């Protein structure tokens, strides 16, 4: 009994004295944070959400996950500096689509949403060169 207690005590002291394991890089939170491309021109954007109408009431939330393909390094730097302006333009355009262009019960128009986001990207950056790449479009209805 005395021997078992001494072994247990020694193991506890040894474990406490051991250095902690090396810190690993934390995995991205959630499925939308995963890297989808190793290309340097690929710039992941945060998902954009907007409400959609159903008559005079809110009919749900439209969520779009996308990225930008920007081969030009200078334009990538511009995107980084104008990220909040881009996000505002995307939310405004998607809200307009959800209020005026979408009808309750329809499937969201993938092509139209892509064109809307592309137009806002070009306007906000002041030049073409950043291509919108849609990852997913989801409609969450109550």
**Structural domain contains residue 54:** yes
- Our count of domains for the chain comes to 1
**Structural domain contains residue 120:** yes
Q: Residue 136: its pLDDT value, please?
A: 95
Print the domain residue range for 102: 42-140
Residue in 65, 94, 86, 64 with CA at minimum distance from that of residue 130: 86
Q: pLDDT tens, position by position, for the chain (142 residues)? A: 555 555 556 556 555 555 555 555 554 554 445 555 567 889 999 999 998 887 777 788 999 999 999 999 999 999 999 999 999 999 999 999 888 888 777 888 999 999 999 999 999 999 999 999 999 999 988 7
Specify the CATH number for the domain of residue 69. Answer: 3.30.479
**Structural domain contains residue 31:** no
**Structural domain contains residue 32:** no
Q: Residue 36: its pLDDT value, please?
A: 52
**Structural domain contains residue 24:** no
């Amino acid at each position: 009994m005395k021997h078992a207690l001494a072994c247990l005590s020694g193991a506890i002291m040894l474990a406490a004295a051991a250095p902690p394991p090396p810190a690993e890089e934390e995995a991205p939170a959630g499925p939308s944070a995963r890297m989808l491309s190793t290309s340097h021109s690929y710039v992941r954007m945060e998902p954009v959400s907007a409400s959609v109408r159903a008559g005079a009431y809110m009919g749900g939330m439209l969520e779009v996950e996308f990225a930008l393909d920007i081969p030009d390094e200078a334009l990538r730097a511009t995107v980084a500096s104008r990220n909040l302006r881009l996000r505002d333009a995307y939310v405004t355009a998607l809200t307009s689509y959800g209020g005026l262009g979408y009808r309750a019960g329809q499937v969201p128009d993938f092509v139209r949403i892509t064109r809307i986001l592309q137009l806002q990207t070009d306007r906000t950056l002041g030049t073409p060169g950043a291509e919108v790449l849609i990852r997913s479009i989801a409609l969450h209805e109550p």
